[in-house]
Amino acid sequence: MARKRSKVSHGKEVFYIACLLILLLVGFWGYLGPGGYLEMKRTQAELATHKARVDALTKDNSERFTNIQLLREDSETLERYARQKGYARKGEMVQEVPAQKPAKPSVQKK
């Protein structure tokens, strides 16, 4: 007696494979696509760089503001700054000594 073969349906397997492929595609898209994980990491690195630059500029700005306030309020600081820039009071004479260039070592040929 020959057994009658029943028709085997692979519908479930095809469905699971299709779902797995779709899941993998969505995962790759979320990782590599626009707005994905890699772009987020790149953007976070740029943000950290910009924050560091803003902090440095803020610090520099506050130092300059402090210097301006000292120049406005303290006459000794203003005079020291003016003398560094080469200014003098009325009646004073400024003498500047030129900076000496370092002597080049002479090489003797024999």
Q: Where are the domains of the chain?
A: 53-89
Low-confidence ranges of the chain (pLDDT < 50): none
pTM surpassing 0.75? no
Q: How high is the pLDDT of residue 110?
A: 61
Question: Residue 2 carries which DSSP code?
Answer: P
pLDDT (tens digit per residue) in 68-84: 999 999 999 988 998 88
- Token readout for 6 is 């029943």
Q: How high is the pLDDT of residue 1?
A: 57
Q: How high is the pLDDT of residue 24?
A: 94
Question: Residue 84 carries which DSSP code?
Answer: H
Closest alpha carbon to 23 in 39, 40, 31: 31
Sign of the Cα torsion 101, 102, 108, 109 reads: negative
Q: How high is the pLDDT of residue 56?
A: 97
Q: How high is the pLDDT of residue 57?
A: 97
Q: How high is the pLDDT of residue 53?
A: 98
